[in-house]
Structure 1
Amino acid sequence: MTSARIYNLYPYLLKNFHSWAEKLDDIDFMNFDWVYVNPFHLPGFSGSVYSIKDYYAYSPVLLGIDYEIMEKEAEKYREIGDSFIRDFCKEAEKRKMKVMMDLVINHTSIDSDLIKEKPEWYKKNEDGTIKNPGALDGDKLIIWGDLAQIDNENSSDKENLWKYWLDYILYYAGLGIKGFRCDAAYQVPSSLWKYLINEVKKQYPDTLFLAETLSCTPEKIIEIIESGFDFVMNSLKWWNFKDEWFLQDYNKWTGRCPSLSFPENHDTERFAKEYNGDSRKAVCYYAIEAYFCSGIAITLGFEYGFEKKIDVVNTTYKDYEEINYDIVEDIRLINEIKAEYNILKEDGFAEIYDFGSSDIFSFLKKSLDGTEKIFMIANINTKTGVDVKVPDMFKIMEGHSIEDISHGHRMDEVSDNLEYYLQPGEAKLFYQKLK
């Protein structure tokens, strides 16, 4: 059974490599079992962490040195960077956590040395210049001029190109990296993913591959799943808990592969900014996402109500904010519950329970093997409490030994005719072990 509780340690919000390990005790306290770090490699001229110039060189900012110094003693600082990654992975393992890094193989920076060394690996425009990747933003096509698009599918030197990516993954796996978040996985050929995942798992069978699948159609997600991925991302963050689109899409592929949800990430607005510093809503939504899906992730600062949107070019340790609110204990308890029950470690078909109120979101879910059932009732209104009544709980939960396993106040006994006053932002979770 594959589950993941991921803490995204955005590397540039901390001063340097040395600062990373200092966060591990805090992350461990919150009961996360994965630490995911965004690209820490040498970026191209734009400075974007997703515009990688050299896959085997490290950011001079994180090394705490000037670029010129690193260039003069490249091999020395490569060894120093390797040592930092190796030691960080070991420190995480001491706390029973694993480290995940970004895998960006759809493009390089436009000033990467690979363009000169291996021009046949890149897509070209009609005039022979290197093609820049782009994406639609509504009806507008955005072209990223700092990036060069790799031709993973039709390169005349595809065999060596694919081998380059494999060697790259194996190199960092050898340093102790246990997981890879595959950036823009939908823009990379499925055949390449199958090759990479199969070959890596021959040497490192427990390696986890997480596909970025946001904005993908259900059909495309299924194609990606069939490439061998262990995890895909879902779009629960953008669901208002009412519209039908999310469940219609989700139910087309759920049960085939675990999925990851998140209240915010490095591409979105900060949750605290989006909801005006409402800590109750942060806890409520985190609980919903943690219990609905097999995987959950937060970004450094979510627990403290950080409000500045991460900028993959400009964010530095100087953007680390003062604490606006502290929900560390709530996250710790929710993660503890998630780690204890198998049904909370999988994705399955959810049945919405309609209370006839826009303030209440509630769902039922049975485990894929039919041995467990949960019933969640959440008051997403963080200003006003609400009375809920649920007749026939024993019938709904298919048993009489219902447990209240909520992270907050727990009922000593759950009766057949449930009556309960939900506090503003409160989430209740009921559990039944089925025979």
Structure 2
Amino acid sequence: MGRGLFILFMKTKLAIYQVFTRTFGNRILTRKEYGTIAENGVGKMNDLDRTVLQQIQGLGITHVWYTGVIRHATCTDYSLFGIPQQNPHVVKGRAGSPYAITDYYDIDPDIATNVDKRMEEFENLVFRTHAEGLKVLIDFVPNHVARQYKSIAKPEGVEDLGQGDDTGKHFDMQNNFYYCPGEYLDLSGVPTYDYATGAETYMEFPAKCTGNDRFDSHPQQNDWYETIKLNYGIDYCDAGGRSFHYDPIPSTWKKMTDILLYWAGKGIDGFRCDMAEMVPCEFWAYAIRAVKAHYPEVIFIAEVYNPELYRMYIHSGFDYLYDKVGMYDCVRGVICGERAAVSITSEWQKIDDIRNHMLYFLENHDEQRIASDFFAGEPRKAIPGMLVTALLYQNPVMVYAGQEFGERGMDKEGFSGCDGRSTIFDYWTVESVYKGFWNKKQLTNETKSLLLTYQRILKICNNEVAAREGQSYDLMYVNVQSDKFNSHRQFAFLRKAEDEVLLIVANFSKDKKYIGVTIPSHAFEFLGLSTGNVVMTDLLSGDSLSATLEPNKQVEMEVDGYYGRVYKFMIKK
């Protein structure tokens, strides 16, 4: 615990651990397809006790992202607790999507041990997390809400979303939603799933426009049909194309900023902002400025997939952005043998001016599991990719619960289906998480080895000053033509801070390789390296290597397949 607290008081490289709260603590192994909460069980906030949080912190984690804690649409009936029941025709799966929010001011009852005290349980979770030297991130879902949104937990005097809207207009700058005046919502393009069979027909009049920017009354199966789009002052259907109406400040801006302030007041340390690019930058500048005026340490992470918008959203106040279509797609391609390792260089070069704002990851709830048949099929193939994403720069890195245990994501859970992802729509137990936290005797030696490797890599992020805050130097340009280095399957770079240097080599090949890494004269000049004999220690294995550092000469080493080296050495002053 002490080490974790120490790290947070110095410059920190964010190492984020994503927890899908509903499935994380579940220990019921029924796992019936489309099972109810009574059949399949559900995880609770209280499952994340001190012991569990210590294990997460011991992995080298600094921040925990609790996914799905705000109340969202579900087929489970909590009406006995005064919570409005949702129509299953507009709920995806029995458990429902955590991104179809039904009350921005409430905690999801599924994850509460005592439903009446669900907010108190969340506040206790925040306290426990902080006590173990970890910081707390939660989702903020700004673009859309569930079709049957209605807040029962909003503070006194707060006006609900949609309250006072002029439903006779498709667009009004002070409306919170978009409408199809005079039309009923038409769900004929959406199949009736078994869990909704026999349920009362869902009626909505006038129809509200759908969350994925569908501005008619006829959402289809592949639309976000269970959600409605929030109006931030943009008329998407103006006669001359979209038009912007930000003066006076739209009602939605004020209401959503108040929601951010409410949760910041609960002591959380940051927001992961869902589909941030579907909400105008002008709102983000307004809202982030307001939150940071009261809570300057709160961080904002944006889910933005268009690289052309990256700098605009950073300028609006975001601390970090997903680097999905850049680094994630590239490293995934390298892991799968579809791209050359040297292509990683061009990806960081594209965003070099904002590189410390980019969040790197290989898994999250949207992406397929590395070990799934849809991705690599083998969890160890990701280790060289983890070395790159965790150690290339000072920017944050994220892992998804179960990644460190090689979760395959090949269950056919229900609404989610067998797609290589861990479900966010169904009641389920993720087998690797269950074993990794609650039944460790079932962990294989291979899984334990994988876990240890993740732990070593993630701990390097903050235990080593060169990884935490050092300069980076990509060595690929000088090694492309080398007969002792395969730029298609190996990637090498340096990190340096003060008198400490890390030489990092990632081997994406399945075979052990004898590699020679050339360090150019420019690296000596740029980083202030000195020539001479050094003893390097591999932080992954503990192995030592004696090497002579000279400009344009090679450092030779042996690297196991699907693995790497993180050689640390000191330079003479």
Write the distance in 2 (CA, Å) between the matches of 1:3 and 1:192. Answer: 28
Shift of 1:424: 1.5
Which residue is equivalent to 2:283?
Answer: 192
Which residue is equivalent to 2:516?
Answer: 389
* Counterpart amino acid of residue 372 in structure 2: K
Q: Say if 1:361 and 1:377, in contact at 8 Å, map to a contact too.
A: yes
Match of 1:415 among 548, 551, 573: 548
Write the distance in 1 (CA, Å) between the matches of 2:281 and 2:162. Answer: 27
The worse-fitting range, judged by mean Cα deviation, of 184-193 and 229-238 is 229-238
Write the distance in 1 (CA, Å) between the matches of 2:233 and 2:349. Answer: 30
Which residue is equivalent to 1:87?
Answer: 124
Aligned length: 416
Write the distance in 1 (CA, Å) between the matches of 2:102 and 2:562. Answer: 45
Alpha-carbon spacing, 1:317–1:135, altered in 2? closer, same or farther (3 Å): farther
Segments of structure 1 that go 5 or more residues without pairing to the other structure are: 71-76
The worse-fitting range, judged by mean Cα deviation, of 292-301 and 339-348 is 339-348
Asked which structure has the greater CA Rg, the reply is 2
Shift of 1:31: 1.4
Shift of 1:234: 1.0
Which residue is equivalent to 1:73?
Answer: none
* Counterpart amino acid of residue 41 in structure 1: I
* Counterpart amino acid of residue 131 in structure 1: C
Q: How is 1:23-422 mapped onto 2 (pairs within 5 angstroms)? A: 23-44=52-73, 45=86, 46=91, 47-64=96-113, 77=116, 80-113=117-150, 114=160, 116-119=162-165, 120-125=175-180, 129-134=207-212, 142-154=222-234, 158-213=249-304, 215-217=305-307, 219-235=308-324, 236-239=327-330, 240-241=333-334, 242=340, 247-248=345-346, 250-256=348-354, 257-274=356-373, 278-293=378-393, 294-308=395-409, 309-317=421-429, 322=435, 323=443, 325-326=447-448, 327-345=450-468, 350-352=474-476, 353-354=479-480, 355=482, 357=486, 360-364=489-493, 374-382=502-510, 384-391=511-518, 396-397=523-524, 398-400=529-531, 403-416=536-549, 417-422=554-559
Q: Deviations over 1:378-402 (max 9, x none)?
A: 11123x1111123557774543367
* Counterpart amino acid of residue 192 in structure 1: F
Q: Deviations over 1:297-324 (max 9, x none)?
A: 1111111111122222114337655446
What SS does the corresponding residue of 1:143 show, helix, strand or coil? Answer: coil
Q: Deviations over 1:11-65 (max 9, x none)?
A: 1112212112252111011110000011212212411111001112222211247
Alpha-carbon spacing, 1:358–1:364, altered in 2? closer, same or farther (3 Å): closer
Q: Say if 1:359 and 1:379, in contact at 8 Å, map to a contact too.
A: no
* Counterpart amino acid of residue 43 in structure 1: H
Q: Say if 1:85 and 1:175, in contact at 8 Å, map to a contact too.
A: no
* Counterpart amino acid of residue 333 in structure 1: R
Shift of 1:182: 0.7
Q: TM-score, normalised by structure 2?
A: 0.65
Q: Taking every aligned residue pair, what percent have the same amino acid on both sides?
A: 19
Segments of structure 2 that go 5 or more residues without pairing to the other structure are: 1-10, 26-42, 74-85, 151-159, 166-174, 184-205, 215-219, 235-244, 335-339, 410-420, 436-442
What SS does the corresponding residue of 1:271 show, helix, strand or coil? Answer: coil
Write the distance in 2 (CA, Å) between the matches of 1:421 and 1:102. Answer: 43
Write the distance in 2 (CA, Å) between the matches of 1:190 and 1:220. Answer: 9
Write the distance in 2 (CA, Å) between the matches of 1:244 and 1:387. Answer: 18
Q: Say if 2:271 and 2:300, in contact at 8 Å, map to a contact too.
A: yes
